Amino acid sequence: MRGLVPEAKLIVLVRNPVDRAFSHYQHEVALGREPLSFEEALEAEDERLRGEEEHLLADPRYFSHAWWNYTYRARGRYAEQIERWLEVFPKEQLLIVPSEDLGSDPDGTYGRVLEFLGAPPHRLDSYPRVFERQYEAMRPETRQCLSAEFAEPNGRLYALLSRNLGWE
């Protein structure tokens, strides 16, 4: 199956999955789509998504609101997603960009993306953050549980990237 889209290039931005899950949750709360506490939403995720992946695979036209809204943990398991993409795209056609790179070196990261795409170099005057929100911190015990849950998937991601992102 590999190489089905030979000219395509895919750029994937990854973020610490614990922080990504909490940010996603806060986004859904702000939009009025999430009535549960974060901990309750995490507990309800598997039930909310029951059958959705099978439906998505069976019908490419199907849009899953549950998958879009409530995949707090699922979307942070990057390795399994990248492994699926690698079944279609050669590794050279994927650029995985950690959000930490974008935050610490926006100019250099932007330059890497342009080079990957084959676009001419170009500097921006600024790299403003958008959609930044302030909200209460995650409960430490929830962070600890999620960090433990993501340890193995993060290890697989680090192996794919040949780089430890330090998301412990």
Q: Output 131 or 8, whichever has higher pLDDT.
A: 8
* pLDDT at res. 104: 93
Predicted confidence band at 3 (pLDDT cuts at 50, 70, 90)? low
Which single residue is written with the structure tokens 């209460």? Answer: 136
Q: Which residues contact 139 (CB under 8 A, 6 or more apart)?
A: 38, 39
CA dihedral angle for residue 53, residue 41, residue 25, residue 155, rounded to 10 degrees: -60
Residue 84: how many CA atoms within 13 Å on its side-chain side?
A: 5
Answer left, alpha or beta for residue 162, where phi above 0 means left and psi between -120 and 50 means alpha: left
Q: Kindly report, residue by residue over 100-151, the tens digit of the pLDDT.
A: 999 999 999 999 999 999 999 999 999 888 777 889 999 999 999 999 999 9
Entry pTM: 0.89
d(CA 156, CA 76): 12
Query: What's the pLDDT tens digit per position in 17-74?
Result: 999 999 999 999 999 999 999 999 999 999 999 999 999 999 999 999 999 999 999 9
φ, ψ (nearest 5 deg) of residue 72: -65, -50
- Is residue 128 within 8 A of residue 136, CB to CB? The reply is no
Tokens of residue 56, six digits: 């998505």
Domain 10-161 = CATH 1.25.40.390: no
Q: What's the rounded Cα separation, in Å, for the pair 69 and 33?
A: 8
Per-residue pLDDT tens over the stretch 64-108: 999 999 999 999 999 999 999 999 889 999 999 999 999 999 999
